[in-house]
């Protein structure tokens, strides 16, 4: 069985920044309320006519460049998104064409804020079984298009953005891994992925529209308190599941790279797991909750600023509407 390596990453945020103060000028909220409840200071909002596929394309191109991989050698493109350009075709196919990918296949994965973990898991499965060699995994969202901008309980929480990684087949012992890494799992790559969903909780977080129900796009609706409660419990549990599956301990984690929904959820999960703040990548203040884009965005920011280094053990985790949740352990 092969091992999947993440060989590079990239991200893109739309130019326009909307600060908490700007929101406070249009709805009944304050910078203090948003910051203390969520840790969010600003969000990026796509320009008129700038679509999810445009964001995905830019992040995908940057990830390919960072990996030194030509688009023509990508076998599979998986786009995690809840905000596709159109109901169909899959937005991934538009990105496939624009990025210059001439072989293989492209499709979308829909698991809302857990979308990137789900897409990474699909990529890992294709690579491990030898069906695909090189996979471009992108998370991209224009959540600003499905927000009710008069609903202060949701509109302050989300933003637009995209992040991407290139996953490539390897055997896990690249770069003299045995010299560089200690612990039970020597070698680079995705050690395992763990996915969950529980459809009993669809009513906690959903969009009140869609092609089959209302023939309109709809807006995000959420029971924030209940989502919060489920998030901390489910995330801590799936992190332990990933560690157990690899005979690793919480203290072996080099960096926790969580879905950037909300600082209080991230703090709560870190505290429950006993992971110190110094080992948690936190970027939600800069871009708010970008759903499926948030993990590759946070990853890219922390790789580029030098915090995450080759050989570090990363724990990626997310929870989102569905409810869906998942985690992945990665030796960077």
Q: Which residues are catalytic?
A: 113, 259, 289
Q: Which residue is nearest to ligand ACO (CB)?
A: 224
Buried b (16+ CB within 10 A) or exposed e, 179-205: eebeeebebbbbbbbbbbbeeebeebb
What's the maximum distance between 2 C-alpha atoms anywhere in the chain? 58
Among the residues of 147-254, which ranges form H helices? Answer: 152-155, 177-180, 224-245
109 in Cβ contact with 79 (< 8 Å): yes
Smallest distance, ligand ACO to C-beta of residue 314, A: 19
Report the nearest approach of ligand ACO to the CB of residue 24 (Å). Answer: 8
In this chain, which of 221, 228, 237, 285 binds ligand ACO, going by CB under 6 A? Answer: 228
Q: Which is nearer to ligand ACO, 76 or 80 (CB)?
A: 80
What are the backbone dihedrals phi and psi of residue 153, each rounded to the nearest 5 degrees, phi first?
-75, -15
Specify the stretch interacting with ligand ACO by CB under 6 A; choose among 51-59, 180-188, 220-228, 238-246: 220-228
Tell me the angle at which helices 263-273 and 31-38 cross, rounded to the nearest 10 degrees.
Answer: 20
Q: Taking CB under 6 A as the rule, does residue 262 contact ligand ACO?
A: yes
Whether the bond between 323 and the residue before it is cis, its omega within 30 degrees of 0, is yes
Q: Are 241 and 327 in contact (CB under 8 A)?
A: yes
Which residue do the tokens 């064409």 mark? Answer: 97
Least distance to ligand ACO, CB of residue 34, Å: 6
Segment 290 to 329, residues that bind ligand ACO, using CB under 6 A: 319-320
Decide: is 224 part of the binding site for ligand ACO (CB under 6 A). Answer: yes
Nearer to ligand ACO, 172 or 258 (CB): 258
In the complex with ligand ACO, which residue's Cβ is closer, 11 or 324?
324
Q: Which is nearer to ligand ACO, 36 or 131 (CB)?
A: 36
Nearest partner of 8 among 49, 56, 64, judged by Cα: 64
What sign does the CA torsion over 246, 251, 257, 261 have? positive
Shortest spacing between CB 64 and ligand ACO, in angstroms:
28
Tell me: does residue 157 bind ligand ACO (CB under 6 A).
yes
Considering the complex, what minimum distance in angstroms separates the CB of residue 39 from ligand ACO?
Answer: 10
Question: Smallest distance from the beta carbon of 27 to ligand ACO, in angstroms?
Answer: 7
Question: Could you tell me the smallest distance in angstroms from the CB atom of residue 152 to ligand ACO?
Answer: 4
- 261 sits near ligand ACO (criterion: CB under 6 A): yes
Residues 6+ apart with CB under 8 A from 104: 74, 75, 76, 77, 132
Query: Dihedral sign, CA of 270, 276, 279, 283?
Result: positive
Q: Choose between 95 and 155: whose C-beta lies nearer to ligand ACO.
A: 155
Is residue 231 at the binding interface for ligand ACO, with CB under 6 A as the rule?
yes
Measured from the CB atom, the residue of 52 and 134 that comes closer to ligand ACO is 52
In order of 94, 96, 303, the CA distances from 54 in angstroms are: 9, 11, 23
Residues for the chain: how many in total?
Answer: 332
Of residues 16 and 264, the one with the C-beta less far from ligand ACO: 264
**Hey, how many other C-beta atoms are within 10 angstroms of the C-beta on 229?**
14
User: What part of residues 123-152 is at the interface with ligand ACO (CB under 6 A)?
Assistant: 152
Binds ligand ACO (CB under 6 A): choice among 4, 11, 20, 38: 38
Chain residues binding ligand ACO by CB under 6 A are: 29, 33-34, 37-38, 113, 152-153, 156-157, 205, 222, 224-225, 227-228, 231, 259, 261-262, 264-265, 289, 319-320
């Amino acid at each position: 069985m092969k091992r999947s390596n993440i060989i590079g990453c990239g991200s893109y945020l739309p130019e326009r920044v909307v600060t908490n103060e700007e929101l406070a000028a249009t709805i009944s909220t304050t910078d203090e309320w948003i910051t203390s409840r969520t840790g969010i200071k600003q969000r990026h909002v796509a320009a008129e006519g700038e679509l999810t596929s445009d964001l995905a394309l830019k992040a995908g191109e940057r990830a390919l460049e960072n990996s030194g991989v030509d688009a023509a050698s990508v076998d599979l493109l998986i786009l995690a998104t809840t905000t596709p350009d159109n109901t169909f075709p899959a937005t991934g196919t538009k990105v496939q064409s624009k990025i210059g990918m001439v072989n293989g296949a492209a499709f979308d994965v829909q698991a809302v804020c857990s979308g990137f973990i789900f897409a990474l898991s699909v990529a890992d499965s294709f690579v491990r079984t030898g069906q695909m060699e090189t996979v471009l995994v992108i998370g991209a969202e224009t959540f600003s298009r499905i927000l009710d901008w008069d609903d202060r309980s949701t509109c302050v929480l989300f933003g637009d953005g995209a992040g991407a990684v290139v996953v490539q087949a390897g055997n896990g012992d690249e770069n003299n891994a045995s010299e560089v890494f200690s612990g039970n799992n020597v070698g680079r790559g995705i050690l395992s992925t763990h996915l969950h969903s529980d459809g009993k909780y669809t009513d906690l977080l959903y969009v009140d529209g869609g092609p089959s129900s209302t023939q309109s796009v709809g807006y995000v609706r959420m029971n924030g308190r209940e989502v919060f409660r489920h998030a901390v419990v489910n995330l801590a549990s799936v992190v332990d599941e990933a560690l157990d599956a690899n005979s690793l301990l919480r203290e072996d984690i080099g960096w926790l790279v969580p879905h950037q929904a909300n600082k209080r959820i991230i703090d709560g999960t870190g505290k429950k797991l006993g992971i110190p703040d110094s080992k948690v990548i936190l970027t939600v203040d800069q871009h708010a909750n970008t759903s499926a884009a948030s993990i590759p965005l946070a990853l890219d920011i922390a790789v580029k600023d030098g915090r995450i280094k080759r050989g570090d053990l990363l724990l990626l985790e997310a929870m989102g509407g569905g409810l869906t949740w998942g985690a992945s352990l990665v030796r960077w």
